[in-house]
Amino acid sequence: MSSLSARLLVSVSVLMLFFFGVTIVVLDTAFRKAGEQAQEDILDGHLMALLAAAEPTDGGILGMPPDMHEPRFGNIGSGLYAEIRDNDGVLVWRSRSAIGMEFPVGIVPEDGSHLFGEEALADGTPLLILSLAVQWEFPSGELKPFVFKVAESLDSFNLQLTKFRRQLFGWFAAVALIMLFLISVVMRRLLRPLRQIETEIGAIEEGRRASLSDEYPTELTGVARNMNLLIDSERARSNRYRHTLDNLAHSLKTPLAAMRALLSDGDHAKFSGRFNEQIDRMDEIVRYQLRKPGASLADNLVLAPVQVASEVDRLVEGLHKVYRDKHPSIDVDIVDDINFRADTGDFLELVGNLLDNACKWCDGRVRITIQSGSDERAATGGMILVVADDGPGIPEEAAEALLQRGTRLDESTPGHGIGLAIVRDIARAYGGHLTIHKSDLGGAEITVTIPPI
């Protein structure tokens, strides 16, 4: 049974069956006892009427009038019977209704006390019998014991009891069906949020929704929140891998261009060393990009200082080979005491993308300035990176769009349109930010500010 609704309905049905069963037994017992008490009260009234009608005779016994106040005593087989016996069990008087019947003697009650119980005739007919033992004083002053006994057939009582049970089962069955119907309706309404979660998850799988809604009962709010966190985490992981592949392709672009330039270089003596240098650079880029999705190195507090000057020199040397036809002039201004702490791969991505864009768009001059992010000795690791060129620049209205992946101002120029987006992502990973302004050289000036640790 895989349905939660079916399980709940079956569980409720079993509990209801048990509860109603116990209730039926209790009500049946209460009705039976109340009925027996009512019969005892009725028989006690008949017994008192017999005592009032009894008169002593000259023979020293009790006699009864021929016509009793209760007409059922005079009708044969009416179901109401009476008799009087002496202390020896000898029959003194029996009502006409009991002609041909023999009551069981049973237990004789003590003088002045009643005895009520259920007995059966010789043919098995059940009777309710009420007996009373008395000491009757005759005119001569003699006391003689007698036992007055009144009995009534249980046929009428059992018929009423059967009718009551039938009605009881009928009403409880109807109530049970109505309650099960109402419970099923209520459960369907209560389980609607679960069906909504199922529907929304299906919509997410089909791409029609981005996340689960937040309109859920308190009991399901945590489930929806955790599910959204899981979905966002998986979506972010997927985006990281996709961005990593984009970054990898973009990062390999410069070494490949440098290798292409080396292949056409006529100086074969230096060819092997330079070529191997670019291969090593590509291998470093691949290893950096492939390990990048696994963890955020910006959160590592034990990062070693980057050799800023030497790494920038390597990048500048490679860009001179890539853009040798353009012969850009790259001015480098790096403070001597800079202590920038970061992953070397992140630093190369950051500076390499900005210098590559500047060389691509400049008319002939590029300038890179790197300063420490703080004058305080206790705060280390920050950096202010400024790359400027003398190219056409970036319009203010297009600056924000260029920070989105795949956005390019000039589709005729080779590139992937993700360089500035990579720079912005890396800067944010280290708590920094990127700004775009107009350079005093005439082109664009891009500033990356990373706060110190």
For 366-384, how does the pLDDT look when each residue is reduced to its tens digit (9 = 90+)?
A: 999 999 876 554 445 688 9
What pLDDT, on a 0 to 100 scale, did the predictor assign at position 301? 41
Choose from 11-25, 194-208, 219-233, 242-256 the range with maximum mean pLDDT. Answer: 11-25
**Which CATH number describes the domain made up of 4-161?**
3.30.450
**Which H or E run contains 91?**
strand 91-94
Backbone angles phi, psi at 55, to 5 degrees: -135, 140
Q: pLDDT, tens digit, for every residue of 125-153?
A: 788 889 999 988 888 778 888 889 999 98
Q: What CATH superfamily is the domain 295-450? A: Histidine kinase-like ATPase, C-terminal domain (3.30.565.10)
Task: Decide which of 88 and 15 is more confident.
Answer: 15
Cα-based angle 168, 170, 176 (whole degrees, multiple of 5): 100
Q: pLDDT, tens digit, for every residue of 317-334?
A: 888 888 888 889 999 999
Q: pLDDT, tens digit, for every residue of 185-225?
A: 888 888 888 888 888 888 887 878 888 887 888 888 888 88
Q: One-letter amino acid identity for 141? A: G
- What percent of the chain has pLDDT above 70? 81
The residues facing 331 across adjacent strands are 367
- The b-or-e profile of 155-179 (16+ CB within 10 A means b, else e) is eebeeebeeeeeebeeebeeeeeee
- What whole-number distance in Å separates Cα of residue 170 and Cα of residue 167? 5
Of 169-178, 316-325, 434-443, least confident by mean pLDDT is 316-325
Domain boundaries, the chain: 4-161, 211-293, 295-450
The owner of tokens 């007996």 is 131
